[in-house]
Homo-oligomer: A and B are copies of this chain.
Amino acid sequence: MLTISQVAERTGLSVHALRFYEQEGILAHPVERDGGGRRVYTEEHVDWLTMCVLLRASGMPLPDIRRYTELVRQGPGTEDERLELMRAHQERVTGQIDELTRCLDLITFKVGVYEDRLADSPERVCGVGRM
């Protein structure tokens, strides 16, 4: 039994984002309301949202997360599509990691270049200049 701000704190999402996610259908189980119409969350919601945060952090777009959420809501029998979704995302993420690793190589090379240049001539720099 958690308030929206407690869930915000636990998940790292803002209260605005939490309402937005709910409206976007990014919750596997509906959020109850108390007498005054306020949202009442459970630990299950926190768990689900925590996973959503991870999916988002790895670049899964909201429409995909919504689709996945729908499949989970529909219950058993949708495992094949869930697997498909996750596999596709898995590939995207490995691809991203690969690309970032390639970029990192260049960046690390650049860092090395500047370190050397500055080590050689700490006062008046006289390197190649370009790039």
Contact = CB atoms under 8 A, between A and B. Distances in A.
Contacts of A100: 57-58, 93, 96-97, 100
A96 B99 CA distance: 11
Interface in A97-131: 97, 99-104, 106-108, 110-111, 114-115, 117-118, 125-127, 129-131
Interface of A: 28, 48, 51, 54-55, 57-58, 72, 75-77, 79-80, 82-83, 86-87, 89-90, 93-94, 96-97, 99-104, 106-108, 110-111, 114-115, 117-118, 125-127, 129-131
15 contacts: A28-B131, A48-B131, A54-B102, A54-B103, A54-B106, A55-B103, A57-B103, A58-B104, A80-B118, A82-B114, A86-B107, A89-B107, A90-B104, A90-B108, A93-B103
